[in-house]
Chains A and B, each alone.
Chain A
Amino acid sequence: MSLLHIDNLSLWIGEADILKSVSLRVNPGEILAITGESGSGKSMTALAIMQLLPRAARTSGSIRLDGAELTTLPERDLCALRGNDIGMIFQEPMTALNPVHSIGRQVAETIRLHAPSADADTQMRDILTRVGLPPDRVPPNRYPHELSGGQRQRVVIAMAIALRPKLLIADEPTTALDVTTQAQILTLLKELVRDFGMGLILITHDLAVVADTADRIAIMRDGEIVETGRTHHMLQTRQHPYTRMLFKASTHQVKLPKPPPPTALLDVQHLQCSYRLPRPRPFARPGQFDAVKDVSFTLMHGERLGLVGESGCGKSTLTRALLGLEAPSRGQILLDGTPVTTQGKANLKIRRRMQVVFQDPFGSFNPRHRVARLITEPFHLLDSPPRGPIRRDVMADALTAVGLKPEDASRYIHEFSGGQRQRLAIARALIIKPDLIIFDEAVSALDVSVRAQILDLIADLCRTHGLTYLFISHDLGVVRSVTDRVLVMQAGEIVEQGQTDAVFTKPQHPYTKKLIAAVPKLPDLRMQPLDGDRI
């Protein structure tokens, strides 16, 4: 008898069909992965199990936990069930915790709520220790803002498993985390499932994570389950075309043209960026934090350079310094021999030769401006920006180059999908024909299939426009695919650099090795026999 039994679950919000006849089973001690692209209904399925749907939602079908029907249960009983029988972990550890309560109090709250007689304090300490936050190292009276992203996610997990629920739902639990932290959290989840005999629903868009972790996979598209089966079996057969497309897109490789003969474009020499820390005591010398320490590298004309490292390693500070948004404390950055900043001020002549594409395709555009205005923003860097028909032509060229239509110029940003917005961001960067483009996590927020398209676009632009770029990402697979050379950054320093293929196949530095080992991989199962599959 399965633990969770979903039968023909359909869900509407207003006129929109969100879920269409979804049926799923989860057994005790089993990990079921639900995967698919954004908007496919993964999270809505989770919220339906929790019965925490938006008020406007209507459902039909049945959800049974241990034989008890959840869809008809009164709210009072559901409150007793949530946190007790079903625990849930959310994607964003930065915002999933209440900032004004200590972590101990938040974990103990779950216990106090459902088991008022229990010694909540002792249990809270035990459970925090279990998720890797022992009270002697991370005191429970800490507040969320004093913890790292990985630690916060551990607190969220502690809250969800405090009462050993029968079912745990983890909605993209590692998407916001670094690869090494991701590996630790996934291991923790697997151990908990094994120790407690819980059923786990792991919602993720990352197929490699699924392949590493799940016993079974359900693949969703547009509110439907298109394929489901044992992980091993699914990885080998990939029957449904959508499944095949997803797998193909997530291991998408692009073909870059050969770079031109090397002549230096960007030259970074002994760059150091420091921040002042508060004085430890009044009138004491203020401390100093070196976000970037003695970094030197050269970027050639036409070269595609990658930069990888975990969050907090100094990638963003380096990017800001390169763009002249932040003056270096020491060292210098030369573009074609001219410094990017002179006396702490950005050098505008140099500034106009660089453009940047940011991660968030939703937050990086002003929603009240039309595309025409948005993508021509870099023109303000020029002494005599094009006007009239020439301006229109330049705009049309940029839009066509990224696979959009010139007519799109009169539309507003909310009319575009995430992938199209990222195309617009690239068009905005291209429009003044910069010598260097910085892609700052530019494909990290995109679905695999969209990501594959954007990567193809970048490769195309390399052929047609001869791009030179610095590609910053925590996604090692993507960096491997779109760069010629790669820099590995740790704690403000470049610990390894070299030809991308060489670094990935024969990493030298221990940190690079650790980073590469932590990346979940999709096994190439076509080579393996089916016998190993346990059903």
Chain B
Amino acid sequence: MLRYMLKRLASLVLSLAVASLIIFALIEVAPGDPASFMLGINAQPETLAALRAELGLDVPKVQRYLTWVGGMLTGDFGTSYTYRTPVAEMVADRIAVSLPLALYALILSILIAFPAGIFAASRRGRPGDLGVMGATQFGVALPNFWFAMMLVLVFAIQLRWFPAGGFAGWDKGLLAGLTSLTLPAIALALPQAAILTRVMRSALLDVLGEDFMRTARAKGLSARQTLWRHGLRNAMIPVLTIIGLQFSFLFAGTIIIEQVFYLPGLGRLIFQSISARDLIVVESVVMLVVFAVILINFLVDLAYAVVDPRLRSPK
């Protein structure tokens, strides 16, 4: 198990190194000089040079890469060209919204998908299964911005249970924060839950056809016991894969929902800084998202090994 963990960890570090190089290179080759963008087309060459020096754009690329990576490792993400504030602070504020929102949505998705998937698989081909499958079809097809607006109409405007948008801030207490994230989390979770339900169901159905499930029945386990004791854990591998992918998406891919609910999340920050050509923010946020995705994959790999002993033993 230790060997497996070390291997995965080494691959994590390597992936990060490669990702940072690629991100840096891509942003370097992108056309547009931030300094000239900030000063407009009529800027004096001297002012431009001065700003470039101030922004650290005049040093060689290798040095800039090393400064950037070294800074990130020590928590210094640089200063935003446009806002003139440290990027680390800006990003930290956004993560305080995006990470809880992603986790909230993922937990909701799992809480819906697991029971629904197990229910459908154990009633394959019967009305219960067909009902769940129909519902997931609908859930996958639903545009989430439309669904988000419906949620606002019903629960915020009609029933007044939740705020219609904006983020109260964690300093107002956990409950206030969660209340303002509830509607966006539901809007995000439902399509994900629909996908996860289908994955859960088909993974379980595959396992139900396995020989060892018949062996378990021959031991005297009831159909339900067989499903819970022998089926579920074997069905987890594909489900974990999808959960990992969904978390990555929920963490950084939620710009539309952030827009609908006026949430100051990471997605909006990326969008704003790209439009403003605030390269240092883009670089840092993209690197951060990549780090999060790679970290999630690492955790999913570890979860595989916990679930399946075949991955633990050296091969």
Task: Determine if A79 is an interface residue (Cβ-Cβ < 8 Å).
Answer: yes
Task: Determine if A517 is an interface residue (Cβ-Cβ < 8 Å).
Answer: no
Complex contact A95–B212 (CB within 8 A) = yes
By beta carbon, the residue of chain A nearest B236 is A100
Task: Determine if A119 is an interface residue (Cβ-Cβ < 8 Å).
Answer: no
Tell me how far the C-beta of A77 lies from the nearest C-beta in chain B, rounded to whole angstroms: 11
8 more contacts with CB within 8 A, not counting A52-B217, A79-B220, A82-B218, are A50-B218, A82-B219, A83-B220, A83-B221, A90-B215, A92-B211, A96-B215, A98-B216
Task: Determine if B310 is an interface residue (Cβ-Cβ < 8 Å).
Answer: yes
Residues from chain A with a CB closer than 8 A to the CB of B230 are 98, 101
Task: Determine if A278 is an interface residue (Cβ-Cβ < 8 Å).
Answer: yes
Interface size class on chain A is 20 to 34
Contacts A84-B220, A110-B220: A100 and B307 contacting too (C-beta < 8 A)?
A: yes
Contacts A110-B220, A143-B310: A278 and B315 contacting too (C-beta < 8 A)?
A: yes
A47-84 contact mask (Cβ, 8 Å, vs B): 1 or 0 = 00010100000000000000000000001100111111
Complex contact B214–A99 (CB within 8 A) = no
Interface of B is mostly: helix
Tell me how far the C-beta of B11 lies from the nearest C-beta in chain A, rounded to whole angstroms: 14
A92-131 contact mask (Cβ, 8 Å, vs B): 1 or 0 = 1001111111100000011001100000000000000000
CA distance A282 to B230 in the complex (A): 35
8 A-B Cβ contacts within 8 A? Answer: A50-B217, A83-B221, A88-B215, A90-B211, A90-B218, A110-B219, A113-B219, A114-B220
CA distance A90 to B216 in the complex (A): 11
Residue from the list B215, B222, B314 in contact with A79, Cβ < 8 A:
B222
Complex contact B219–A52 (CB within 8 A) = no
A245-285 contact mask (Cβ, 8 Å, vs B): 1 or 0 = 00000000000000000000000000000000010001000
CA distance A522 to B132 in the complex (A): 56
Task: Determine if A217 is an interface residue (Cβ-Cβ < 8 Å).
Answer: no
Task: Determine if A145 is an interface residue (Cβ-Cβ < 8 Å).
Answer: yes
B215-240 contact mask (Cβ, 8 Å, vs A): 1 or 0 = 11111111000000110011000000
CA distance A282 to B222 in the complex (A): 46
Complex contact A79–B221 (CB within 8 A) = yes
Report the tally of A-B residue pairs with Cβ distances under 8 A: 78
Task: Determine if B179 is an interface residue (Cβ-Cβ < 8 Å).
Answer: no
Complex contact B212–A145 (CB within 8 A) = no
Task: Determine if A146 is an interface residue (Cβ-Cβ < 8 Å).
Answer: yes
Residues from chain B with a CB closer than 8 A to the CB of A235 are none
Complex contact B310–A113 (CB within 8 A) = no
Task: Determine if A87 is an interface residue (Cβ-Cβ < 8 Å).
Answer: yes
Task: Determine if A472 is an interface residue (Cβ-Cβ < 8 Å).
Answer: no
Residue from the list B214, B218, B234, B313 in contact with A143, Cβ < 8 A:
B313
Complex contact A113–B220 (CB within 8 A) = yes
CA distance A80 to B214 in the complex (A): 16
Task: Determine if B210 is an interface residue (Cβ-Cβ < 8 Å).
Answer: yes
Which 10 A-B pairs have CB atoms at the shortest separation, nearest pair first? A83-B220, A95-B211, A83-B219, A82-B220, A88-B218, A143-B309, A98-B212, A110-B219, A96-B215, A96-B211
By beta carbon, the residue of chain B nearest A143 is B309
By beta carbon, the residue of chain B nearest A50 is B218
Complex contact B219–A75 (CB within 8 A) = no
Interface size of B by Cβ–Cβ distance < 8 Å?
A: 24
By beta carbon, the residue of chain B nearest A278 is B314
By beta carbon, the residue of chain B nearest A113 is B220
Tell me how far the C-beta of A61 lies from the nearest C-beta in chain B, rounded to whole angstroms: 22
Task: Determine if A156 is an interface residue (Cβ-Cβ < 8 Å).
Answer: yes
Complex contact A100–B234 (CB within 8 A) = yes
CA distance A109 to B214 in the complex (A): 14
CA distance A523 to B46 in the complex (A): 105
CA distance A81 to B222 in the complex (A): 11
By beta carbon, the residue of chain A nearest B312 is A143
Complex contact B215–A145 (CB within 8 A) = no
Task: Determine if A443 is an interface residue (Cβ-Cβ < 8 Å).
Answer: no
Complex contact B220–A80 (CB within 8 A) = yes
Find residues 173-227 in chain B having any chain A CB closer than 8 Å to their own CB: 210-212, 214-222
Task: Determine if A160 is an interface residue (Cβ-Cβ < 8 Å).
Answer: yes
Find residues 87-114 in chain B having any chain A CB closer than 8 Å to their own CB: none
Tell me how far the C-beta of A436 lies from the nearest C-beta in chain B, rounded to whole angstroms: 34
Tell me how far the C-beta of A275 lies from the nearest C-beta in chain B, rounded to whole angstroms: 11
Residue from the list B215, B220, B314, B315 in contact with A97, Cβ < 8 A:
B215
Task: Determine if B308 is an interface residue (Cβ-Cβ < 8 Å).
Answer: yes
Complex contact A97–B219 (CB within 8 A) = no
CA distance A97 to B309 in the complex (A): 13
Contacts A95-B211, A100-B233, A101-B230: A109 and B219 contacting too (C-beta < 8 A)?
A: yes
Residue from the list A84, A100, A114, A146 in contact with B308, Cβ < 8 A:
A100
Task: Determine if A425 is an interface residue (Cβ-Cβ < 8 Å).
Answer: no
Contacts A52-B214, A90-B211, A156-B215: A99 and B222 contacting too (C-beta < 8 A)?
A: no
Complex contact B308–A99 (CB within 8 A) = yes
Complex contact B314–A82 (CB within 8 A) = no
Residues from chain B with a CB closer than 8 A to the CB of A98 are 212, 215-216, 230, 234
By beta carbon, the residue of chain B nearest A111 is B219
CA distance A52 to B234 in the complex (A): 22
Complex contact A100–B309 (CB within 8 A) = yes
Tell me how far the C-beta of A248 lies from the nearest C-beta in chain B, rounded to whole angstroms: 33
Residues from chain A with a CB closer than 8 A to the CB of B307 are 100
Tell me how far the C-beta of B314 lies from the nearest C-beta in chain A, rounded to whole angstroms: 5
Task: Determine if A401 is an interface residue (Cβ-Cβ < 8 Å).
Answer: no
